[in-house]
Amino acid sequence: MVDGLEAFFQTKRFDVDNWLYCDDCDEKTDMEISFNIQEYPTILTLHLKRFYFDYMTMGYQKNCCPMDIPSTLTHFKSCTYDLYGVINHSGVYGGGHYDAYIQSPENKDWYCFNDSHVIKVTDKDFLKRSKTAYMIVYRKSERIFLFNLLIKKNTMETSTEEAFKTANSR
């Protein structure tokens, strides 16, 4: 999963073999495309593309490649995310069943929600080599969030004090 995230945010270069049309130049040209996050969300939801169209069978197939789900994402600038939910899909493209593993914000225990049944989970094997994870939900780490908030507050106080001193010195 981490490899996929890193690949998504890498700059991609389109050259002679696969030029893109440029509206400004009115012609096909070399181009670089990159994706950036302008503002990091409090909740980060990753939807895994588990289904793909197979032209051999002319139907949708499920990608059941096992993947490890990291409990913490640290690959973003100045932002860390903690895992708190995994939604699983078992079945095929046209039908199946969903269940979810969710971490309680109060006691940090994990629970499995499966229809009308909710059970406490003590083994976190669902994070290792998962073949059914469909959506993964992370929450911005409060440690980083509070640290950034403190920096912003201190910067604002300093700026306000400096502005007040400058205004009063005239």
What sign does the dihedral 13-16-20-23 (CA atoms) show?
positive
pLDDT of residue 97: 94
| Chain mean pLDDT for the chain | 81
Query: Is 48 among the domain residues?
Result: yes
Query: Is 136 among the domain residues?
Result: yes
**Chain segment 102-159, per-residue pLDDT in tens:** 999 899 999 999 999 999 998 888 788 888 899 999 999 876 555 555 555 565 555 5
Task: Examine the domain organization and report whether 79 and 116 are in the same domain.
Answer: yes
Task: Examine the domain organization and report whether 52 and 122 are in the same domain.
Answer: yes
**Range in 11-20, 70-79, 143-152, 158-167 with the lowest mean pLDDT:** 158-167
Alpha-carbon distance values, 107 to 79, 103, 111, 120, 144 (Å)? 23, 8, 11, 12, 20
Query: Is 164 among the domain residues?
Result: no
What percentage of the chain reaches a pLDDT higher than 70?
Answer: 82
Counting the structural domains of the chain, the total is 2
Task: Examine the domain organization and report whether 90 and 62 are in the same domain.
Answer: yes
Task: Examine the domain organization and report whether 73 and 124 are in the same domain.
Answer: yes
Residue 79 β-bridge partners:
76
Is 164 a residue whose pLDDT tops 50? no
Is 99 a residue whose pLDDT tops 90? yes
> By residue range, what is the domain housing residue 29?
1-36
Query: Is 165 among the domain residues?
Result: no
Distance of CA 110 to the CA centre of its chain: 20
Task: Examine the domain organization and report whether 76 and 137 are in the same domain.
Answer: yes
Runs of H (alpha helix) within the chain: 2-9, 142-168
**How sure is the predictor about 67, in pLDDT bands with cuts at 50, 70 and 90?**
confident
pLDDT of residue 13: 82
pLDDT of residue 55: 96
Query: Is 51 among the domain residues?
Result: yes
How many Cβ atoms sit within 10 Å of the Cβ of residue 141? 16
Task: Examine the domain organization and report whether 105 and 70 are in the same domain.
Answer: yes
26: left (phi over 0), alpha (psi -120 to 50) or beta: left
pLDDT of residue 163: 47
The answer to whether 70 and 2 have CB atoms below 8 angstroms apart is: yes
pLDDT of residue 160: 47
Three-point CA angle 24, 27, 33, nearest 5°: 65
pTM: 0.68
Query: Is 19 among the domain residues?
Result: yes
Task: Examine the domain organization and report whether 112 and 135 are in the same domain.
Answer: yes
Query: Is 155 among the domain residues?
Result: no
How far apart CA 131 and CA 98 sit, in angstroms, is 13
Query: Is 170 among the domain residues?
Result: no
Mean pLDDT (whole number) for 17-45: 83
What percentage of the chain reaches a pLDDT higher than 90?
Answer: 33
